[in-house]
Each structure stands twice: as structure tokens, then as C-alpha cells.
Amino acid sequence: MPTHDAGPITERVVVVGMGLIGGSIALAARATGAATTVVALDVSEAVMARVRELGLADVATGDMAEALRGAGLVILCVPVGASAAAAAALAPHLEPGTVLSDTGSVKSSVVTQVMPQLPAGVTFVPAHPIAGTEFSGPDAGLASLFQARWCILTPIDGTTPSAIALLDAFWSRLGARVAVMTPEHHDRVLALTSHLPHMIAYNIVGTATDFGDETQSEVIRFSASGFRDFTRIAASDPVMWRDIFLHNREAVLEMFERFSTDLSQLEGWIRDGDGDALLAFFTRTRAIRRSIVAQGQDTAMPDFGRRQPPAG
């Protein structure tokens, strides 16, 4: 992880919403010296109390005026559906020259929600770090969460080059690799790489819970044969995922339609006993896995490097 030696990227960063992502940004910013002062802000008093106990930030306050005074960078880390409310609450206290950013998993909707709230002189740089776990809340924060992960910036009309450069430097300091694209392109790419897989995982795990008790207990017992990996994804935060599906509806439905067509084709090959088609298809999918490992986006270790349970 880069260290303090390089000097701060900004004097004061304010993290709004101290859950998994907010907590991780605060920890990583402190660990790398990305900001001289890391300020934590959350609507929940219980969350703020936990932030203080865990020492996630230099300053933890529910007072917006105090938190935002002199802020160089403010990062919204709230559920996508709360973006408008959070931006509206911050707006009266944002000073001209402050750069506002976010971490929402959907970009077009966040832009639509935040832009009308933005005061003059404040630049918005929508962003999405492609990193996470199935855990949520301040206890889930990890300083190393963004190491070697992508962070996508989706500038819009009015986003200044200096604001983009600030976010680029900030996320690079946290260990991330930075990419830039439009919000619309982001939403289509993520609908395929993240939202569709979550939809499938939620559905598969949901199907298993519809079976009777005996089958369910066998599903759990023999889960290592594939089901277990879907349960990790399907254990993701319910509020976050409700918001993602509702706020990226068009792109998710488009990808789902393509998925359904391909699934019907697969079903047809199995029904027709077309082994050649199945073999060609599975060979192609295996190559994708190998490319992901080759690009350092996952480990090549068997079973994702999991410790094996004791034998017996």
C-alpha cells in the first residue's frame, strides 16, 4: 500500500455513510495518508458511536456544518436510493471549491439524484469502486479493500479536469486502478458483470429455500459442489441490492433478456443431447475464467484459496 511519504492528496476528506465502503475508505485514507484529516459522517447515531469505538476516522460527527467546513473532498457512501436525500442534506453546507463524489453501484440514477441538489461552485465526480464483500456496516471496513481493484470514474457535463485528477490521485493512493467511462456505459457493463450474477445467485438460493426441509438440509450439507459460491453473493446487503435493481432497471432487464435467450439455448442442447455444442460452449467459458486470473482479478488457487475443512 502506498504510504504517507507522498504527502496528502487533500487536506480534509469527509466520508458520508460509514458502512462497508465508507469505513474502508476512511481506514485506507488514514493508512495511506491520502488526507490530513479524515472525517466520518452518518445519519445513524449507533453507527457514529461504533465509528468512534473502532477509531475509523480522525473526526466522527453528526454535525454537517462542522464536518464539511474546509472539506476538499466529500464522498457519498450511502445506498443508491438515498443519494438524493443525502446530497440535499449536505448541500447547504458544501463550500464552493469542494469536490463531491460518491461510490454508488449505479451511476446514471445517482447523477440524476445528485445534480439538482448541487450548489454553485461544487463539482461532482461520480465514482464506483469495484470492490466489496457480502458484509455491511462499519465493522466490515477493511483498509486493504481497494488494493488492485478498479475504481470507475464517470464524469458528466461540468466535471472539471482538476476534480477528475483529484479523484484519480485519491483512488490511486488507496491502491485502486482508475478507469474513466460515461455513466450509461458503466451501468450496462455492471449490469452484466455484477447485477445479473447477483440476480442469478438470489434466484438460485431462493429456489433452494423453496424445497422441503429434507432437501434443504442436503443442499446445505453438500453445498461445496457449487451452491456455496452462490450463497456468498446472495448474502449481500438486501437494501443495497434492492436499490441497485430498481435504479438500473433498464440495463438489468436488457441483460436478463439476453441471459434468458442463452439459457433456453443451453436447455435445448441438453434436451437434444448435443454434446458437441455443450463442449464448445464450456470450453469458451473456461477461457474467460483463465483471462480473469491472468489479469490478476482472482486467484488461480483451487477453490479460490479457501482453507479446506478438517477431514472426517
User: Of 121, 134, 142, whose CA–CA distance to 22 is shortest?
Assistant: 142
Footprint of ligand NAP on residues 150-179 (CB under 6 A)? none
Asked if residue 269 lies in contact with residue 277, where contact means CB atoms within 8 angstroms, the answer is yes
Number of residues that bind ligand NAP (CB under 6 A): 28
d(CA 153, CA 107): 9
Footprint of ligand NAP on residues 94-153 (CB under 6 A)? 103-105, 128-129, 132, 136-137
Burial of 106 (0-12, 13-18, 19+ CB in 10 A): buried
Q: How far is CA 305 from CA 126, 131, 295, 299, 308, in A?
A: 34, 18, 17, 7, 9
Q: What binding mask, one character per residue, do residues 10-49 give for ligand NAP by CB under 6 A, x or -? A: ------xxxxxxx-------------------xxx--x--
d(CA 223, CA 204): 12
Q: Least distance to ligand NAP from the beta carbon of 44, Å?
A: 3
Q: Least distance to ligand NAP from the beta carbon of 17, Å?
A: 3
Q: What binding mask, one character per residue, do residues 73-102 give for ligand NAP by CB under 6 A, x or -? A: ----xxxx-x--xx----------------
Q: Least distance to ligand NAP from the beta carbon of 70, Å?
A: 20
Q: Least distance to ligand NAP from the beta carbon of 170, Å?
A: 15
Instruction: Determine which residue in the list 48, 240, 251, 252 makes contact with ligand NAP, applying CB under 6 A.
Output: 240
Instruction: Determine which residue in the list 146, 171, 237, 255 makes contact with ligand NAP, applying CB under 6 A.
Output: 237
Cβ proximity to ligand NAP, 184 vs 277, nearer residue: 184
Q: What number of other Cβ atoms are within 10 A of residue 46's Cβ?
A: 10
Cβ proximity to ligand NAP, 106 vs 219, nearer residue: 106
Q: Least distance to ligand NAP from the beta carbon of 133, Å?
A: 6
Cβ proximity to ligand NAP, 130 vs 208, nearer residue: 130
Binding stretches for ligand NAP (CB under 6 A): 16-22, 42-44, 47, 77-80, 82, 85-86, 103-105, 128-129, 132, 136-137, 237, 240
